[in-house]
């Protein structure tokens, strides 16, 4: 069995009404690799982890009134998960679309040099994807749009 041996400093835990279906969908649509699935003796999902590059997500059940899938709370989201791709973002978008993702924002090159798109999964979680197509400094993007980039608030 393969497991993640080096754990990232930050990872996201995402609640699904149907986490077993979500695991398969996330693998097919977005390219996550399952690394750990723990089932109870009745075959119910207790815990799971999926890897994307050097990142990790945990996919689980709705387990309290405060831990719900967007599909259970009128489509509300309190966070999005961003994935940075090294390969063809446009092809990734088409794979996601073919798997049933709703594309909220078509692929578009941003002022900071990344090409991005935004999608929802079947339960309404919002995902963003980016691929650097032009490496830019903060000075370059500040000049392009008239912004001021700082390391922290003054």
Supply the pLDDT for residue 5: 60
Residue 75 lies inside a defined structural domain of this protein: no
Residue 53 lies inside a defined structural domain of this protein: yes
pTM score of the predicted model: 0.89
Q: How confident is the model at residue 50 (pLDDT cuts 50, 70, 90)?
A: very high
Residue 74 lies inside a defined structural domain of this protein: no
Mean pLDDT over 3-18 rounds to 83
Which residues form the domain of 16? 9-63
- Residue 107 contacts residue 90 (beta carbons within 8 Å): yes
Query: Does 85 share its domain with 122?
Result: yes
Task: Take residue 143 and report the two structure tokens written for it.
Answer: 């000049």
pLDDT (tens digit, 9 = 90+) per residue, 54-107? 999 999 999 898 899 999 989 989 899 999 999 999 999 999 999 999 999 999
Residue 98 lies inside a defined structural domain of this protein: yes
Lookup result for tokens 């008239």 = 146
Mean pLDDT over 29-47 rounds to 95
Q: What is the CATH number of the domain that holds 14?
A: 3.30.720.120
Query: Does 16 share its domain with 59?
Result: yes
Indicate the number of domains in the chain.
2
């Amino acid at each position: 069995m393969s497991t993640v041996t080096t754990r990232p400093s930050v990872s996201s835990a995402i609640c699904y009404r149907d986490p077993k279906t979500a695991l398969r969908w996330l693998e097919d649509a977005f390219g996550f690799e399952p690394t750990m699935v723990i089932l109870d003796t009745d075959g119910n999902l207790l815990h799971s982890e999926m890897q994307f590059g050097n990142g990790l997500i945990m996919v689980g059940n709705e387990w309290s009134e405060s831990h719900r899938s967007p599909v259970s709370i009128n489509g509300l989201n309190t966070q999005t998960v961003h994935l940075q791709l090294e390969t063809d973002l446009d092809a990734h978008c088409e794979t996601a679309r073919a798997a049933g993702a709703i594309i909220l924002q078509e692929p578009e090159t941003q002022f900071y040099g990344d090409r991005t798109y935004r999608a929802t999964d079947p339960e309404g979680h919002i995902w963003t994807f980016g691929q650097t197509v032009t490496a830019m400094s903060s000075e370059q993007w500040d000049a392009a749009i008239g912004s001021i980039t700082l390391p922290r608030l003054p």
